[in-house]
Structure 1
Amino acid sequence: MLRIYFTSDDIARTRIAPGPDPLWELVLSLQMLRPQRGDLLFTTWRHESCKAVRHARLGEVLGLLLALTPNVGYFPDFLNPIEAIHGLDHGIEALRTTPIPMLKRDVCRLAATHRLPESARRLADGEPAILTDLTEAMRTCYDLAVMPYRRSIDAALGKDRRIRTFALANGGVEGLLASLRPMMTWSAGELRIPGHRHQELHLHGRGLLLIPSYFCVSGPLTMFDPDLPPVLIYPVVRGPDALPSRASTMPAALGALIGSTRAAVLDVIGTREGASTTTLARHLGISMATASEHTTVLRQSGLISSHRDHNRTLHHLTELGRALLDTNG
């Protein structure tokens, strides 16, 4: 059983993630490529994704990635840096700059219970080439196994978030935590998660970030290292509409309304939360100037919002933009 201990400061600092964590979804989807308990909803998704990943011909690095993400037991903390909550690019960059002592510690811990390929030793030593290959393979797997299903993922996470925010609004943090039954139970400053390996986590005033996950089916998860930022990943509420389905091509009606290229830009922003102008240009095969022009019109129309992040401009759907996509999807 996992036991998480809260102080009054921790209760005040407990919050819900603003959106999906792309690296958690990726790691858990890689685990889901191999059958596991409670995964019947993912049979068609597994067939489609395994085929897509095989055709990508990632070579030996795919073997390393799958070895690092066993679907039973421990897997390395360094695969899920907290920065990924701000988007895939942030997570990939943080992973590439993982301190070598952390790489070595996590790989050695995994090697104690699982047989790893030779390339794992190079990873533990922090060789830049293997880190680059690994993160590029992760990005490719995300594009093939997660991104095409982002509408299903976003819909399920949006539904779960509405449940949690309603509980928070009506009962405070205690109401929020109580809403997570029967996955976990809250009582007198202690959150208990049965079925988890034995672990105790003292938050020490840092609070807890709750991250709902579409591909999490086995039960709530947290980091192995108690000194890392405290997170709790838990399965979203699942209903009959939770089946993962690939996003269809952008409907002609929406293209006729706002233009086919602009509709495609809006769709990519909907499936790549926090997409940069560069990402849009590369993904759609248009120039940076054209991508910038379309995002300007979409922003002025209230369909997206944009903000600067160092030398990049990142774009997000507004509620109006999401409603427009959902209506036409």
Structure 2
Amino acid sequence: MAGMLRIHFTPADFLRVRFARSPDPMWEAVLGLHVLTTSVDRLPARLRLWRNRARGRARQPDVRGAFRLLHDLAPSDASYWPDFLTPAESEEGLAAGLRVLRETSRARLEREMREASRHRPLPAWTRRLAAGDRTLLDDVAAAVGTVHGGLLAPDWSEVEAAGAADRAHRMEALEEGLGAVFASFTPFVWREPVLSAAYPQDVTLRLRGRGLRLVPSFFCHTRPVAIADPGLPPVVVYPLRLDESHAVHENAALARLLGANRARVLTALATTRTTGGVAMRLALPASSVSGHLTVLRNAGLVASERAGMYVTHRLTPRGRHLLGHLQEDVGRPGRR
């Protein structure tokens, strides 16, 4: 039965709202699996493309095993899945999140697995996890890491770039106040002091001065997802804002300016990469990538530095500025 998520703010909560800088790796691992098990006709175009690319990766034996294990704990049609899979510490990175997951207490495992069993039948092996089996808990953590590395990592620069664009949009709205930011969240309706959205069931989240951390998600596409336990720090993951046609026009504008492959190289450096990493990401010869990097570096768009045996490349402020302006230009009415 469809319900509503209602988030109640107090004046103190407005002072403690935080916007994550990028999508969270552990939330994305779970939500990425959900995309693979969701009917294609329910997905936006960008996720249909990702799903087509990722299905081949999902057939790798280690990824397939990790997929099955996590699907038992957090299937896409579940109205509840355990909060220990997405610890708050993962905002510091995947390694920090996996470390905390492995340290989940037996009491919490038992409590959250019992709650999951109230919503759906669970496979027999989960009873050992609920009893605090540390080997199984390590397996769960390893499965999250495998899914992230095997399914998401090849496209993580795209995920981060989309997250950065979403954050820029929210910060622009912030010029009109926090209420304007809340009004910019498409899945939500803002009627002060309550932020609400469609949800699998009726849930009321009273912040009571604790504030709220809002996390954009590339793979969350229909409705937000909130931490279920009211005793944990409040976190809501929401579908990031991405204009499909806008992204196509932006890539086309960049290609016209720099040439198709050079534009692809520049875009790939939303995340710092080595020459080989860019070549692998784009399926281009390393020698070709090296030539494009030289041109971009000479233009002041890319900076390179040696790190041990490798040379890493990243966008300079000028490079990021260029991408930002292209994004603004193609988004203005009347521009082509």
TM-score by length of 1: 0.74
Q: Does the 8 Å contact 1:64/1:117 carry over to 2?
A: no
Q: Tell me whether 1:81 sits opposite 2:87 in the alignment.
A: yes
Asked if structure 1 preserves the Cα contact closer than 8 Å seen for 2:6 and 2:196, the reply is yes
Equivalent of residue 111 in structure 1, options 75, 95, 117: 117
Please point out which of 180, 183, 191 is paired with 2:195: 191
Name the residue aligned to 2:272. Answer: none
Bigger mean CA offset, 10-19 vs 62-71: 62-71
For 1:225, the equivalent position in structure 2 comes to 229
Residue number among 217, 237, 248 corresponding to 2:282 in the alignment: 248
Q: Is the 8 A contact 1:150 1:247 kept in 2?
A: no
Q: 1:24: how far off?
A: 0.8
- Shift, 1:256, TM fit: 3.7
Counterpart position of 1:15: 18
Superposition deviation, residue 208 in structure 1: 0.8
CA RMSD of the aligned region, Å?
A: 3.1
Q: Percent identity between the aligned chains?
A: 34
Are 1:33 and 2:25 matched, yes or no?
no
Q: Which residue identity does 1:108 align to in structure 2?
A: R
- Gaps of at least 5 residues in structure 1 are 260-266, 268-285, 304-316
- The 3 A distance-change label for structure 1 pair 216 and 323 is same
Q: Distance in 2 between matches of 1:58 and 1:231?
A: 28
Q: 3-state SS of the aligned residue for 1:15? A: strand
**Residues in 1 aligned to 2:281 and 2:231: alpha-carbon distance in whole angstroms:** 39
Q: Name the residue aligned to 2:8.
A: 5
Q: 1:135 to 1:324 in 2, by over 3 A?
A: farther
Question: Partner of 2:261 in structure 1?
Answer: none
Query: Is the 1:77–1:106 Cα contact (8 Å) retained in structure 2?
Result: yes
What does the per-residue CA deviation read over 1:40-95, in whole Å, with 9 as the maximum and x for residues that have no partner? 53334324323312213457554221111111221111111011111111111111
Number of equivalences: 278
Between structure 1 and structure 2, the one with the greater Rg is: 2
1:252 to 1:60, Cα distance in 2 relative to 1, 3 A: closer
**d(CA) in 1 for partners of 2:288 and 2:64?**
41
Residue 151 of structure 1 deviates from its aligned partner by 2.7
SS at match of 1:130: helix
* Cα distance in structure 2, aligned partners of 1:40 and 1:198: 25
Aligned partner of residue 196 in structure 2, secondary structure? strand
AA aligned to 1:217 is H
Partners of 2:156 and 2:323 in 1: how far apart? 12
Residue identity matched to 1:98 = T
CA shift, 1:254, in A, is 4.7
Cα deviation code 1:86-136 (max 9, x no counterpart): 111111111111111111111122223333223212221222211122211
Q: SS of the counterpart of 1:146?
A: helix
Residue 155 of structure 1 deviates from its aligned partner by: 2.5
Match of 2:309 in 1: 290
Kept in 2: contact 1:64–1:119 (CA 8 A) = no
Distance 2:63 2:23 in 1: 25
Whole-angstrom distance in 1 between the partners of 2:216 and 2:24: 8
Give the whole-Å Cα distance in 2 for the aligned partners of 1:197 and 1:132: 31
Q: Is the 8 A contact 2:58 2:64 kept in 1?
A: no
For 1:149, the equivalent position in structure 2 comes to: 155
